[in-house]
Structure 1
Amino acid sequence: MRFWSPCSRAALVCSLLLGLQGPALADPAALRERHEALRDALRGSPFGRPLHLESRQMGESLQGDVYAVLDHSFEKVRDALAQPANWCDVMILPFNTKYCHAVQADGGPALMVRIGRRYDQPVEHAFRLQFDHRLVAASPRYFECRLSAQEGPVGTRDYRIVVSAIPLDGGRTFLHLGYAYGFGTMGRIAMHAYLATAGADKVGFTRVNNGAGGHGLIGGMRGAVERNAMRYYLAIDTFLDSLDAPPAQRAERRIQGWFDATERYPLQLREMDRRTYVSMKRMEVERQQTLLP
């Protein structure tokens, strides 16, 4: 089965709360309008769940947006994602995150993260990022949280992860995840090298015209940003699921649950077998409890 979500001009204009040129103002009314505009797309989503994904490239910036209806109450989403330490339980789940620890930096909360070029890269050789954590809104009717990092691996920069949410009827939540970053010459060269070798067969979720009278799934840099946006969305949903388990069982539930969730889209997201992933993440979850130098 192929998965895609066509991205119209109107949808691009309405990509809310994560402008590539600068942070947008918190706007719960705009998110409600987005939910209404996507109602039919969410109901008929090819993802097997009420989810819509978009991506775009503008010059030296890439952005992926996931909109989804969660089977979690708004209060649960808001209270859990307002806590910086909980974000490390989210961030550690994607395969190439080697470490995450919440700290106080420059007068505010931050996440010290290490990203590996390869899933098996030793943590001491992984790239260090500092994501500043900013809680924009946590009211009874609207939530917004932003993570930002000035520098990333292999020539990338200006990383932004924005999560916003509003309550829906029936104890559900409409959530928007925006994931974006910029790149310069070095980043472009590194990405093209990856896409010509290990990433040559990697695709995203959006269906596009392949130029030969047919259609295929998008590849290249937009395919990469779509895969990462989906990984982070699945990490958030899996983390929220794990909160229903006893505390001692939550880490294992997150690890197993994230792998299960990514296996629903193996063409895009499969990187390794379950045994390799689970063994690696058990070690990394244990390691993140300690602040590394």
Structure 2
Amino acid sequence: MTRFCPPWLIAWAALAAAGGASAQSAQALQAQHGQLQQALAQSPFERPLVLQANASTQQPQGDIYAVLDHPFGAVGSAFQKPAHWCDVLMLQLNVKHCEVAERGGQRKLQVAIGKKAEQPLEDAFRVDFDYQLRAAQADYLSAEIHAADGPLGTSDYQLTLEAVPVDARHSFIHMSYSYANGLSARLATRAYLATSGRDKVGFTVARQDEAGRPVYVGGMRGVAERSAMRYFLAIDAFLDAQSAPPEQRTDRRLRGWFGATERYARQLHEMDLADYLKMKRRQLQPSWLGAFYDPGG
């Protein structure tokens, strides 16, 4: 299997790996929504989303809070189903395959992660996530995916999603993430930030230049903000597509996510729509899988 230095590893970091904070209760999450109302209204993401993340290359962790324009019933029912997590993950450029498997009574997400560009599936990395539904109540959802091991010396990936209703039409979500970086991953990350990732930026304005134009954060903070926005838009695109007839949902998800990312082209643009759709439609075909996964687990 080909080994290459991330952007994918860094981008996956800002999505993946969960658990900077443990699951709360509905009351605690509602209280956080109240405390963050001003920050949500003034978000640099140009929508109600707040990202709190460190810039560590050794133990990245962070929390994402966002208001979704979808009722809690839709959010709660969707993310109780592991297959829907795959639907969200597959919108990302660097996620090449995702399927749900069950072994020993435990539901798992078998995920292949690779480059943002087109590449053979056998050159991607396999990461197996355990799925756990921690709470599914009338006013509170908590679900988690966790992987003990990842590629390039990474470990202890966790991603927790919590949600509560805001009103009849909106939900408030909290995604917490964390993971551990080994030496090889830290070196690869630093190399990326010094080369191809050097000029990439996030959404927070660090300062104004002499002409009064915004200068955005870069480095690991920029990586975290870009990835947070991509996954927030993926959740939103998935939920938007659920109102379409079943046979139209995949295409609507793909086009919806891509169109939303293009609103932030300075930070998120990577390829043209035609290339994105061609790549994703191929990856979603049953024939794409081939012998990548060992049927024995």
Q: Classify the TM-score, shorter chain.
A: 0.7 to 0.9
- Does the CA-based 8 Å contact 1:65-1:179 persist in structure 2? yes
Q: Which residue of 1 aligns with 2:247?
A: 248
User: Counterparts of 1:74 and 1:231 in 2: how far apart (Å)?
Assistant: 21
- 1: CA distance, partners of 2:279 / 2:57: 36
State the one-letter code of the partner of 1:82: Q
In structure 1, give the amino acid aligned to 2:173. L
The match for 1:12 is none
Cα pair distance change 1:19/1:149, threshold 3 Å: closer
Structure 1 vs Structure 2: percent identity of aligned residues? Answer: 46
TM-superposed CA distance for 1:217, in Å, is 2.1
Deviation at 1:275, TM superposition (A): 1.1
> Structure 1 residue 59: deviation in Å?
7.0
RMSD: 2.4
After TM superposition, the structure 1 = structure 2 runs for residues 67-216 of structure 1, keeping only pairs within 5 Å, are: 67-208=65-206, 216=215
Kept in 1, the 8 Å contact 2:233–2:260? The answer is: yes
- Please report the TM-score for the alignment, with normalisation by the length of structure 1: 0.85
Structure 1 residue 103, shift from structure 2 partner: 0.6
Matched residue SS, 2:65? strand
Q: Which residue of 1 aligns with 2:47?
A: 49
Question: How far is 1:25 from its partner?
Answer: 3.8
Q: How far is 1:90 from its partner? A: 0.6
Partner SS state of residue 61, structure 1: coil
Q: 1:70-105 CA distances to partner (integer Å, 9 max, x unpaired)? A: 111101100011001111111111101000001113
- Name 1:218's counterpart in structure 2: 217
Are the counterparts in 2 of residues 91 and 100 from structure 1 also a CA contact under 8 Å? Answer: yes
Match of 1:62 among 60, 65, 89: 60
The 3 A distance-change label for structure 1 pair 178 and 33 is same
In 1, the alpha carbon distance for the partners of 2:145 and 2:205 equals: 29
Measured in 1, the distance between the counterparts of 2:57 and 2:190 equals 15
Question: Which residue identity does 1:85 align to in structure 2?
Answer: A
Q: Does residue 257 of the first structure (1) align with residue 256 of the second (2)?
A: yes
- 3-state DSSP of counterpart to 2:138: coil
Asked if the contact 1:64/1:226 (under 8 Å) is kept, the reply is no
Contact 2:56–2:220 (8 Å) recurs in 1: no
**Which TM-score applies when normalising by structure 2?**
0.84
| Structure 2 CA distance for aligned equivalents of residues 141 and 288 of structure 1 | 40
- How many equivalent pairs are there? 273
Contact map agreement 2:237 2:257 (CA 8 A) in 1: yes
Structure 1 letter corresponding to 2:282: M
Report the alpha carbon displacement of residue 277 of structure 1 after superposing the two structures with TM.
Answer: 0.7
Shift of 1:106: 4.2
* Residue 236 (1) aligns with residue 235 (2): yes
Cα separation, 2, equivalents of 1:48 and 1:120: 30
Of structures 1 and 2, the one with the larger relative CO (CA 8 A, separation 6+) is 2
